[in-house]
Amino acid sequence: MAIAILYREELLEYDFGPGHPFRGDRYEIFPRFLKERLPEDDNYHFVKADPATEEDLLTICSKEYIQFSHDYYKAAYAGQLDHIKFGLYQSMDNMPFEKPGNIEEAARLIIGQAKLGCDLVQKGIYQKAVSIGGGMHHAKPSFGEGFCIYNDVAFAARYLINNYKLERVLILDTDAHAANGTYEYFYDDPRVLLIDLHQDPRTLYPGTGFAKDIGDGKGRGFKVNIPLPPNAGYDSYYRVFCEIVEPLVREFKPQMIIRNGGSDPHPDDGLTDLGLPVRGFHMIGQRVRQLADEVCQGKELDLIASGYNKGVLPYAWLALIAGLAGWNIEVEEPEPATRKFHKDPAYAETKLVEAEIKSNLRHYWKCFQLPNPAQL
């Protein structure tokens, strides 16, 4: 069955300007790479979404924040860089350089793609949808940061709950950075199980997402942070999927899966220090597909944007999507690969992280409870 790939050229406007790490050309690189490697045919269909409405944005953001973001980035696009009040609504990494794209309009399109992706899957038009440019997981209700303006991950989960009355939604975040914005939206909500794999927050922005952070109130135990040590590679990711992710998902039984994250766990990313090879991205996509088929009739929305090495990005993105879609296509490691992947140097430390997570969650999930000695 073909999957939907949500994309339109206006995504190139999500560009903070020359010299900034986040440029819009990433959204041009991947569709071209995909078409060269695999014909559209029955494999995938490109689908265009409309930008989000004001009403859509108000489900996840304050009116004041939306107004400021719209006005500021519109002025910046016109060449008027006025930074008054910027720090009240946006972090410095969201400040555009000279000649940025029409960032806020593109951010609305990313929300629109998440909305359409949810509709396509829930209405049975497609079993799976991929939003190119999605996964803006650092954005908060009234503050943008980490190159993120509006949080489409949070929007998708709320939209599924509000419009389709879903009671259990899984967000699986495999971006190298912790999903601090998404966590803030749902920290006390038991309807959303957030499982967040990321680099140890002591070593990487945003400095949140420790194993002890498991949510609060009714949502306690439904927020699962998996802080992986620097250099964690294939073996570490495979282990935490087998030992943490999959048991939790099977017990939670989500009605739909939202996965977000791009190529930044790759060792050559440039902004991060993880060690996941291209075959590891395929493994993630494959295991997400298998979980979706097992627990929620294959229903899955994929949001993919991150990655700061443009030579690695299309290979890792394609490997992820190929695993998710079940395409019979081999995606090689881009050359030159600067590290060897024969051994995972962080595997022993990852096992310690795993033990800590299971201990923290033992009172909330049967799959992590210690066996009764009387039953041994």
Average pLDDT over residues 19-39: 93
Q: Do 282 and 323 meet the contact criterion of CB atoms below 8 Å apart?
A: yes
pLDDT at 341: 62
Least confident range of 80-94, 118-132, 207-221, 248-262: 80-94
Angle at 88 between CA 83 and CA 90, to 5 degrees: 70
pLDDT at 114: 98
| pLDDT averaged over every residue in the chain | 95
Above 50 in pLDDT, residue 376? Answer: no
Average pLDDT over residues 358-362: 97
Domain ranges of the chain: 3-8+29-47+126-369
Average pLDDT over residues 213-226: 98
Q: What's the per-residue H, E or C state across the chain?
A: CCEEEECCHHHHHCCCCCCCCCCCCHHHHHHHHHHHHCCCCCCEEEECCCCCCHHHHHCCCCHHHHHHHHHHHHHHHCCCCCCCCHHHHECHHHCCCCCCCCHHHHHHHHHHHHHHHHHHHHCCCCCEEEEECCCCCCCECCEEECCECCCHHHHHHHHHHHHHCCCCEEEEECCCCCCHHHHHHHCCCCCEEEEEEEECCCCCCCCCCCCCCCCCHHHCCCEEEEEECCCCEHHHHHHHHHHHHHHHHHHHCCCEEEEECCCCCCCCCCCCCCECCHHHHHHHHHHHHHHHHHHCCCCEEEEECCCCCCCCHHHHHHHHHHHHHCCCCCCCCCCCCCCCCCCCCCHHHHHHHHHHHHHHHCCCCHHHCCCCHHHC
Above 90 in pLDDT, residue 374? Answer: no
* 52-62 residue pLDDT tens: 999 999 999 99
Work out the percent of the chain whose per-residue pLDDT is above 90.
92
Above 50 in pLDDT, residue 267? Answer: yes
Global pTM? Answer: 0.96
The fold of 3-8+29-47+126-369 is Arginase; Chain A (3.40.800)
Above 90 in pLDDT, residue 272? Answer: yes
* 289-348 residue pLDDT tens: 999 999 999 999 999 999 999 999 999 999 999 999 999 999 999 976 555 567 899 999
* 116-134 residue pLDDT tens: 999 999 999 999 999 999 9
